[in-house]
Structure 1
Amino acid sequence: MAEFTVYDEKTAPEQARPMLAGAKRRLGFISTLAGVMAESPELLAGYNALFEKFQASSLPGPAKHVVMITASVANECAYCVAAHSTMALRADLDQDTVGALRDSKPLDDPALEVVRAFTRAVVDGRGWVDDERVDAFLAAGFTRRHLLDVVLGVGVKTLSNYTNHIAHTPLDPAWAAQEWTPPGA
């Protein structure tokens, strides 16, 4: 098994150092995910840029959390499920909703359930989503822009989920209270 270094702002490749320093200013620490991604400054820069664009997207805040957790559960990324569960709870998404997302269960909120189901369909179908699912998403009051913003969120999670799978990224203490294990693991 290849071992990946978890870099910090002093040990990372030169191009990645400013990005890790910025992460430390924003979060108060450098996540192990960012530390691993620093091996490829281009990956880290791409991930940061896409994550920032997703955060600025047209989706409502709770829906963004639904996309992040749902995609991470579908991809069985223990690191990202823990991280995004923590962030969702800090953003006041209720514990029942976060728990249902972590368990791949339908949500009580009809609008968020449409986002969850659509996100899961995007991930499971590798982008091939049937017209009925697309129509249901739009009929729930979401727009084509929202639909494409879900695709952006899935793309962001693909970068981090796959990195974590390959690198076996250790979980940060900040996310430990929301540790998650994929079913059947």
Structure 2
Amino acid sequence: MVQFTVHDETTAPEAARPHLEAGRARLGFVSTLNAVMAESPELLAGYNALAEQFTKSSLPAKAKQVVLITVSVVNGCEYCVAAHSTVALKAGVDEETVRALRAGKPVSDETLEAVRRFTERVVTDRGWVEEQEVEAFLAAGLTRRHVLDVVLGVGMKTLSNYTNHIAHTPLDPAWQAQEWKRP
């Protein structure tokens, strides 16, 4: 297996260091995901820029967490499911919803279920979502802008999911309580 370096602010390429420092300021630590991505300062910068934009998107806060966990479950990313489960719980997503998302099951909240289902379709259908799925998403009270914000979240998570698959990113201690194994 090819080993990827888990960088810190002293070993990372110079161009990646400000992004690692920003990650430390945001989380209180440099995540191993950012530390692995630092090998490519452009990947790290791009991922962080997309994450910032997704945070600013029009999706409600809990819906954003649904997108991030759903993409990661569909893509089988053990690291990201653990990380985003932790973040979702801290953001006020109830435990029952997080458990259902981690199992790839429907959630009880109708709006969040519409987000989960649509996100799952975007990933599994590689963007070729059937018109009735888009209509069902809109009928749940979501908007065309929300459709595109889901696409943004899927793109962002795809970068991290694929990085973790290839690099076998070690799980941070902060995410350990929500460790998840791909079925």
TM-score range, shorter chain: over 0.9
**1:92-107 alignment runs, 5 A limit:** 92-107=92-107
User: How many Å separate the matches in 1 of 2:153 and 2:8?
Assistant: 26
Match of 1:63 in 2: 63
* 2:138 matches 1:126: no
Q: Which stretch of structure 1 is more off in the superposition, 14-23 or 43-52?
A: 14-23
1:24 Cα deviation after fit: 0.9
**1:172-183 alignment runs, 5 A limit:** 172-183=172-183
Match of 1:18 in 2: 18
* 2:149 matches 1:141: no
User: How many Å separate the matches in 1 of 2:156 and 2:13?
Assistant: 22
- 3-state SS in 2 of match to 1:138: helix
- 3-state SS in 2 of match to 1:180: coil
**How many equivalent residue pairs?**
183
- 3-state SS in 1 of match to 2:59: coil
- 3-state SS in 2 of match to 1:59: coil
CA offsets per residue over residues 57-115 of structure 1, 9 Å max, x none? 00000000000000000000000000000000011110000000000110000000000
Return 5+ residue gaps in structure 1 as ranges. none
**1:164-179 alignment runs, 5 A limit:** 164-179=164-179
Match of 2:156 in 1: 156
1:43 Cα deviation after fit: 0.1
Match of 1:5 in 2: 5
User: How many Å separate the matches in 2 of 1:25 and 1:46?
Assistant: 18
CA offsets per residue over residues 98-152 of structure 1, 9 Å max, x none? 0000001100000000000000000000101000000000111111100000000
Match of 1:53 in 2: 53
- 3-state SS in 2 of match to 1:157: helix
1:170 Cα deviation after fit: 0.2
Q: Which amino acid aligns with 1:30?
A: V
User: How many Å separate the matches in 1 of 2:106 and 2:168?
Assistant: 29
Return 5+ residue gaps in structure 2 as ranges. none
User: How many Å separate the matches in 2 of 1:95 and 1:142?
Assistant: 23
User: How many Å separate the matches in 1 of 2:172 and 2:90?
Assistant: 16
User: How many Å separate the matches in 2 of 1:21 and 1:56?
Assistant: 21
User: How many Å separate the matches in 2 of 1:10 and 1:20?
Assistant: 10
1:18 Cα deviation after fit: 1.0
1:13 Cα deviation after fit: 0.3
1:22 Cα deviation after fit: 1.3
- 3-state SS in 2 of match to 1:155: helix
User: How many Å separate the matches in 1 of 2:106 and 2:121?
Assistant: 13
1:25 Cα deviation after fit: 1.4
Match of 1:33 in 2: 33
User: How many Å separate the matches in 1 of 2:92 and 2:144?
Assistant: 27
Q: Which amino acid aligns with 1:5?
A: T
After TM superposition, which residue ranges in structure 1, 4 or more long, deviate above 4 angstroms? none
**RMSD of Structure 2 on Structure 1 (CA):** 0.5
